[in-house]
Amino acid sequence: MTGRTTTMNTMSAMGPRTSRLRIRHETCVSYAQAAVSSHNEVRMTPLTLPEQTTLDARVTISPATAMWSYWDYWGTQVTGFDLMEPHENLTITALSLVETSPPVPLATPPSWAEVAEEASNSRLLEYMVPTRRTAVTEELTDLARAASGGLDPHETAAAVSDIVADRVAYVPGATGVQTVATEAWEQGAGVCQDIAHLTAGLLRAIGLPTRYVSGYLHPERDAELHRPVAGQSHAWVEYWAGDWSGYDPTNRTRANESHVIVGRGRDYDDVTPHKGVYRGVAGGPPEVLVEFTRVA
């Protein structure tokens, strides 16, 4: 999962603006030999939220097969399907039309004591616990704690994100889907998934509930209408400071109308766009295409 852009202003000269985007996300899997069967889950359907409305969404599969959908524990829409006949290729195409709005202004955050009390007595606690992917060392925790000294939760989220972005250069292909946060820190390079994992791990370690967000980021905010633009899936974080606020540490900015949310969880494992198992000989990595078209 990758994605970086620098056109991230949340307000235009004319004030708040909405964005209507058509998104095509296609994943092609080829097997070295025909897979006897496969069992799959797809998380590629954008959510409908106060600042984001999914107007249309559909998932198609080739070879064609029956599908079903459900909402998982973390609130993400899942499309499931099985292929019980031999197949040499699998193509998953997710099409969606989404209207997004700029984020609302940040409210005055609660005190750190209030954050701690709320986190200890609610489901926020699930977003305070380190996972295999987000665990950080005590040394890194001390670094984040020093950077946040005297800052409120909103300021802390930005300051800690900057620590990560300063250390981990965005380098497509520098890491793989199994890379954990500390590995990206040590090598000083990674993709948005790694930067989000590190940021989430550090914010949790210093007492701020934080969840990993999977979705899309339009790479050209002012792209010509109806002109397809190649893009990628993206990852960022949301932290709780009285309410959930999105922050994109890869681009050092608040999440805005160019960000489209598909799912949230503790880390990538909770919101993997496509996961499955199959009987057969392993093939190469899947080919992924993400395309955006601004329609309004």
Q: Does residue 55 have a pLDDT over 60?
A: yes
> Both tokens of residue 78?
């899942």
Confidence tier at 63 by pLDDT (50, 70, 90): very high
**pLDDT of 274-287, one tens digit each?**
999 999 887 788 99
* Cα 238 from Cα 212, distance rounded (Å): 7
**pLDDT of 181-222, one tens digit each?**
999 999 999 999 999 999 999 999 999 999 999 999 998 878
**pLDDT of 5-29, one tens digit each?**
433 333 333 445 688 999 999 999 9
pLDDT at 15: 45
> Both tokens of residue 110?
């609660």
Q: Does residue 92 have a pLDDT over 90?
A: yes
Tell me the average pLDDT across 113-132. Answer: 96
Q: What percentage of the chain has pLDDT greater than the value 90?
A: 86
Q: Does residue 238 have a pLDDT over 70?
A: yes
pLDDT at 16: 54
> Both tokens of residue 271?
């919101």
Confidence tier at 100 by pLDDT (50, 70, 90): very high
One DSSP character per residue, 174-212 reads SS-TT--HHHHHHHTEE-HHHHHHHHHHHHHHTT--EEE
Question: Which burial class, exposed, middle or buried, applies to 225 when counting CB atoms under 10 A from its CB (0-12, 13-18, 19+)?
Answer: exposed
Which residue spans within the chain are E strands per DSSP? 19-35, 37-42, 52-62, 67-71, 77-83, 87-100, 169-170, 189-190, 210-217, 228-231, 233-240, 244-248, 253-254, 259-265, 274-279, 287-294
pLDDT at 157: 98
* pTM, two decimal places: 0.92
